[in-house]
Structure 1
């Protein structure tokens, strides 16, 4: 009997109706595969467009001569009234400006900044005066375990930072306080951005 059902299956596949059914199933399968491939092509097209936009943006930045920087400096509480160069002027080319886009400060020890005559720390361009300030940080927030960023309490962002105006042509980026402090662990200051 198994032989008869096997023969029947062969005859069914050879008959025009059986072939039509198999052909219909194959067409449906191919249709599903085509839909799947079309979806993959749409996703691939979107990915290619995104990649082209990213490459275009990078090419524009390169054409403008932008260079990324990330620099770290150490400020001592007792010397905080003296400027510390985070991004030295020598790293800027002729006619270039520094544009900080982010920063973070953290104490390298367990002693908060207290005493002395200082009350604020400034992230500024390296000019002699404090006209071009990017941010000011209240000294009271410089405490052990505090990670200070642009969005931290006690931080005031200036237009030169918030509007991406950058510093003055040829000036780097310094950190300086309005006075020195009697005590406090070393402060690690990292600034990142671009030069153009």
Structure 2
């Protein structure tokens, strides 16, 4: 599997898992979604908002890639989130709408990437104001890993409330190969 194929797999995994996660979270009342559960971002809704916030921050950085990928144009128009714990949406339905919109952009954008794009050194400034210059492919892997990390927290919180999201392993989407 090439790096480009792997990125496409990760974009599909991201979309698949978010659909499962938001379907599960949609079974809860708003009060349950907003209850502080001791997670990094407090509540289930706080955790899901954080993933959307972080994805937006990263996508805005990725939009500065010299490839100027057209699929990221809507991201360029978004205001930058003000903090990692910002509640962009206070209800699950509007957050889900935003999530699915981002997932469609991510999928379309990753399909436009080339191997040459992946080798680019992307300069950016982190949320604490510290500048960095990192290989674009490595940043993409971090982007997808970060989503998985926090989705794992959200699925645990849901499971503690008796809601099983089902299979969450990337392995479920990796195609079998003929030996």
- Identify the TM-score tier after normalising by the shorter chain: under 0.3
Larger Rg: 1
Query: What TM-score do you get using the length of structure 2 for normalisation?
Result: 0.25
Determine which structure has the larger helix proportion and give its number: 2
Task: Give the TM-score of the pair, scaled to structure 1.
Answer: 0.24
